[in-house]
């Protein structure tokens, strides 16, 4: 049986992990880094994902997608307020956002699928085994459409998604496995784009979620925007440049804002430098931690209300919480830590890397599903109430928020008019009274036998499965016939569309692979060229002129190959350079060793 992998599909970064010798491990890429930036660029050489794509944010911002998670399972109207911040063009089709890159439009699940494929390939290259079955994490507060979109992304990437699991609960699994904690814990998860709070009870290997709350549009991105807005204003007054008109520069400003924010978690003041276009020079400024905190204080305070609601739903006081766990990169901010500490009255801890803990937890859940770990069980809840629209546009709740999943509810339907042959049903998710104030999930038509009013009896079962995803079935009580239902999602891809995207994804896979191999070969060539040049300077006088000439000629050959679109040729030239510089490397090694030894002798003497 193939191994099951755990994937954290994040707003800013994504990771893949697996279980090895009863310990979850993240899988690093060739560059040694475990995090793959959740960035996809459509370049002239094809699609790029991760670190190489990140470079295109400031070079070709209109064709480089980041933070796509914010668009998963959403319509254009949902993100209207932040449209101005994104350099790429967004449209909507069938209730699903489409991202225009060059000539083609992509749905958010398609973009996410590219990130998933990158993770899949990375794991396959590292471990030499096929990656086909996965567990993917989502924010606990994701609604049904957002979960479904995540599942679609997995399908499009050619993966079998065995489970969608909530990020804070995944984190609790990683912690629980490591520490064998008992008691009540609060997981505070503030990531790049989303915020979750989950309250759990841990007892004898059972991880029972008591309540969850959050905000799927609150995270590090929002902090960065506040800072970027300040930089943009300063640039306008001091340099007379409107960065809004320069998407690439806007991205440079956003990235510098993010970096400054990160530095201010360790430092109290930091210098900011941004190169400006059109000969407007370079923007220099300074940002202090105090300034950052003033700019973002209200955003951080937005996390407190969901925390209080979660405590209330769990029937607990802050003082009842035994441990507070921090998850997500944004919890590195001292301001966030202070707020959490104040609310719960105890020092939150984060001894597992907050960037990796969710992926590690996903790997633990994957191991449970494959029958490895048998003494741990996660009992999660549905974050939002599920209901249907009734007469007068009111929502009638069938399954209340924070109900342990799987959860089901049955509802009987009949007709109001003689001979009526169908009843329309509108499924909703949310906590408001009126249907229109809640999230529309889907609509479907229930077929009725043509009988006098009130006689037909169709029982509909609404079942929320262990993924937090809704399944609907119907049965005619009189005939015991099961009725198949075509549910039309309000904000999701239809089954046909997902199928088409899966086909396309395989079609382009070969093309994508070639583009990717080329880019990787070129990146490696660049690194070798630079390193060899440096070594030549250091090794001056240590090798013969003949050898120098040989190296020079191999470097020239590599440079020529690099210009051509053949990754195999580039690789061959790289190998050639490595061969001709072998002796030089040895000489340099001896030389530096000798120097080190001599220094040592000197220090011993004195």
Partner 1 sequence: MDHTLHNTQTGRAELPMARSMCWHCQSEVTGEYFCDRCVKVQPLAKDSDYFTSFGLSRLLHIDLAALEAKFYELSRAFHPDFFQQKTPAEQTISLGNSALLNTAYRTLKDPIRRAEYLVQLEAGSAKDIRTSPPADLFEEILELQEDLEAHRSLPVETPSGERQRLQSKLRTQREHLEQRQVTMESDLEGLFSEWDALLGQDAPEVGMRAKKDAILKRMRDILSNRTYLRNIINDLIATAGQ
Q: Which residues are catalytic?
A: 8, 69, 167, 189
Q: What are the φ/ψ torsions at residue 397 (nearest 5 degrees)?
A: -80, 135
Which whole-number Å values give the CA distances from 401 to 53, 117, 382, 431, in the listed order?
Answer: 39, 33, 6, 8
| CA distances, 17 to each of 95, 127, 301, 535 (Å) | 33, 11, 33, 37
Q: Which is closer to partner 1, CB of 378 or CB of 487?
A: 378
Q: Within positions 463 to 492, which residues make up the interface with partner 1, using CB under 8 A?
A: 463, 465-466
> Which span (362-370, 411-419, 484-492, 499-507) binds partner 1, by CB under 8 A?
362-370
Site size for partner 1 (CB under 8 A): 24
Contact call for residues 58 and 252 (beta carbons, < 8 A) = yes
Q: Which residues contact 355 (CB under 8 A, 6 or more apart)?
A: 13, 15, 35, 328, 329
The reply on whether position 7 binds partner 1 by CB under 8 A is: no
Cα-Cα-Cα-Cα dihedral of 499, 501, 507, 511, to 10°?
A: -160
User: What are the tokens at 221?
Assistant: 């991105």
Q: Write down the least CB distance from residue 372 to partner 1, Å.
A: 11
265 alpha-carbon distance from chain centroid:
22
Work out which of 369, 451, 502, 529 binds partner 1, going by CB under 8 A: 369
417 binds partner 1 (CB under 8 A): no
Q: Which two tokens stand for residue 152?
A: 């679609």
CB under 8 A: which stretch of 51-59, 318-326, 445-453, 462-470 binds partner 1? 462-470
Q: For the CB of residue 1, give the shortest distance to partner 1 in the complex, in Å.
A: 7
Is 128 or 371 the residue whose CB approaches partner 1 more closely? 371
In angstroms, the CA 498 to CA 110 distance is: 9
Q: Which of 32, 128, 279, 371 touches partner 1 (CB under 8 A)?
A: 371
What's the DSSP call for residue 381?
Answer: B
**Considering only residues 42, 197, 405, 577, which one is a binding residue for partner 1 as defined by CB under 8 A?**
405
User: Is cis: bond before 406, omega within 30 of 0?
Assistant: yes
Pairing mode, if any, of strands 183-190 and 323-327? parallel
Q: Among 368, 386, 398, 498, which residue interacts with partner 1 (rule: CB under 8 A)?
A: 368
Contact letters (x/-) for partner 1, 142-181, by CB under 8 A? --------------------xx------------------
For 585, the 3-state DSSP assignment is: helix
Rounded distance between C-alpha atoms, residue 551 and residue 563, angstroms: 19
Tell me the closest approach of the beta carbon of residue 522 to partner 1, in angstroms.
42
Using CB under 8 A, pick the residue from 105, 265, 291, 408 that binds partner 1. 408
Of the pair 203, 284, the CB lying nearest partner 1 is at: 203
By beta-carbon proximity to partner 1, the closer residue of 159 and 407 is: 407
Closest CB 206 distance from partner 1, rounded Å = 5
Our CB check for partner 1 shows the closer of 288 and 404 to be 404
- Are the C-beta atoms of residues 115 and 9 closer than 8 Å to each other? yes
Return the bridge partners of 196, or none: 189, 214
Query: Nearest-5° angle of CA 79, CA 136, CA 357?
Result: 95
Q: CB of 483: closest distance to partner 1 in angstroms?
A: 17
184-223: which residues touch partner 1 (CB under 8 A)?
203-204, 206
SS3 call for 26? strand
Q: Which of residues 238-297 bind partner 1 (CB under 8 A)?
A: none
CB of 222 to partner 1, least distance (A): 29
Q: Which string of x and - marks every residue 316-355 that binds partner 1 (by CB under 8 A)?
A: ----------------------------------------
Report the alpha-carbon distance of residue 401 to residue 91 in Å, rounded.
Answer: 32
**403 part of the interface to partner 1, by CB under 8 A:** yes
Count of residues for the chain? 606
**Contact call for residue 182 and partner 1 (CB under 8 A):** no
**If we measure between CA atoms, which residue out of 64, 336, 347, 57 comes closest to residue 218?**
336
User: Which listed residue (75, 334, 406, 449) binds partner 1 by CB under 8 A?
Assistant: 406
**CA nearest to 73, candidates 182, 7, 164:** 164
> Which listed residue (374, 545, 546, 606) binds partner 1 by CB under 8 A?
374
CA distance 418 to 470: 31
Nearer CB in complex with partner 1: 255/304: 304
Query: CB of 320: closest distance to partner 1 in angstroms?
Result: 16
Nearer to partner 1, 317 or 347 (CB): 317
Q: DSSP string covering 68-131, please?
A: GGGGTT--GGGGGGGGGG-SSEEEEETTEEEEEETTEEE-HHHHHHHHHHHHHHHHHHHHSS--
Could you tell me which stretch among 247-255, 317-325, 405-413, 486-494 binds partner 1 (CB under 8 A)? Answer: 405-413
Task: Pick the piece of the chain touching partner 1 (CB under 8 A) from 65-73, 243-251, 372-380, 514-522.
Answer: 372-380
Residue 304 interacts with partner 1 (CB under 8 A): yes or no: no
**Does residue 394 touch partner 1 according to CB under 8 A?**
no
Q: Which residues bind partner 1 (CB under 8 A)?
A: 1, 162-163, 203-204, 206, 365, 368-371, 374, 377-379, 403-408, 463, 465-466
């Amino acid at each position: 049986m193939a191994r099951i992998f755990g994937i954290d599909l994040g707003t800013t970064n994504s990771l893949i992990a697996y279980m090895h010798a009863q310990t979850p491990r993240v899988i690093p890429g060739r560059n040694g880094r475990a995090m793959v930036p959740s960035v996809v660029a459509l370049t002239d050489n094809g699609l790029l994902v991760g670190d190489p794509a990140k470079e295109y944010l400031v070079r070709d911002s209109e064709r480089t997608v980041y933070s796509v998670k914010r668009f998963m399972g959403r319509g254009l109207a949902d993100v209207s307020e932040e449209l101005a911040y994104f350099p790429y063009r967004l449209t909507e089709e069938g209730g699903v956002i489409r991202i225009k890159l060059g000539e083609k439009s992509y749905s958010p699940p398609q973009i996410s699928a590219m990130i998933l494929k990158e993770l899949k390939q990375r794991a396959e290259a590292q471990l030499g085994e096929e990656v086909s079955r996965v567990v993917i994490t989502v924010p606990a507060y994701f609604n049904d459409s957002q979960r479904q979109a995540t599942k679609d992304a997995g399908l499009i990437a050619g993966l079998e998604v065995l489970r969608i699991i909530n990020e804070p609960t995944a984190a609790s699994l990683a912690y629980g496995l490591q520490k064998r904690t008992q008691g009540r814990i609060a997981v505070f998860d503030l990531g790049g784009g989303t915020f979750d709070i989950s309250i759990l009870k841990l007892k004898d290997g059972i991880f029972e979620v008591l309540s969850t709350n959050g905000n799927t549009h609150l995270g590090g991105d929002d902090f960065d925007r506040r800072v970027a807005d300040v930089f943009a204003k300063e640039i306008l007054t001091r340099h007379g440049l409107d960065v809004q008109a320069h998407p690439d520069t806007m991205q440079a400003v956003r990235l510098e804002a993010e970096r400054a924010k990160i530095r201010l978690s360790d430092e109290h003041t930091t210098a900011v430098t941004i190169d400006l276009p059109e000969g407007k020079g370079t923007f220099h400024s300074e940002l202090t931690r105090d300034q950052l905190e003033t700019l973002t204080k209200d955003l951080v305070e937005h996390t407190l209300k969901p925390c209080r609601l979660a405590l209330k739903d769990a029937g607990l006081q802050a003082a009842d919480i035994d441990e507070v766990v921090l998850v997500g990169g944004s919890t590195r901010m001292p301001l966030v830590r202070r707020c959490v500490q104040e609310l719960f009255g105890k020092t939150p801890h984060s001894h597992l890397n907050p960037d990796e803990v969710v992926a590690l937890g996903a790997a633990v859940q994957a191991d449970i599903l494959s029958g490895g770990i048998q003494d741990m069980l996660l009992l999660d809840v549905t974050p939002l109430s599920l209901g249907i629209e009734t007469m007068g546009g009111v929502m009638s709740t069938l399954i209340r928020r924070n109900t342990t999943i799987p959860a089901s509810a049955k509802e009987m339907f009949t007709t109001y008019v003689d001979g009526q042959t169908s009843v329309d049903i509108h499924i909703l998710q949310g906590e408001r009274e009126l249907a229109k104030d809640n999230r529309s999930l889907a609509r479907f038509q229930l077929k009725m036998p043509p009988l006098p009013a009130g006689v037909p009896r169709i029982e509909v079962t609404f079942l929320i499965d262990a993924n937090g995803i809704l399944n609907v079935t119907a049965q005619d009580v009189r005939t015991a016939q099961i009725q198949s239902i075509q549910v039309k999602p309000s904000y999701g891809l239809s089954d046909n569309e997902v199928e088409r995207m899966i086909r396309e994804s395989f079609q382009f896979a070969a093309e994508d692979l070639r583009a990717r191999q080329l880019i990787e070969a070129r990146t490696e060539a660049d690194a070798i060229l630079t390193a060899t040049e440096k070594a030549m300077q250091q090794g001056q006088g240590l090798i013969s002129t003949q050898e120098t000439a040989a190296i020079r000629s191999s470097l020239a050959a590599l440079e020529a190959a690099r210009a051509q679109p053949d990754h195999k040729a580039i690789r061959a030239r790289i190998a050639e350079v490595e061969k001709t510089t072998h002796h030089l490397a040895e000489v340099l090694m001896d030389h530096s060793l000798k120097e080190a030894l001599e220094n040592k002798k000197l220090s011993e003497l004195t």
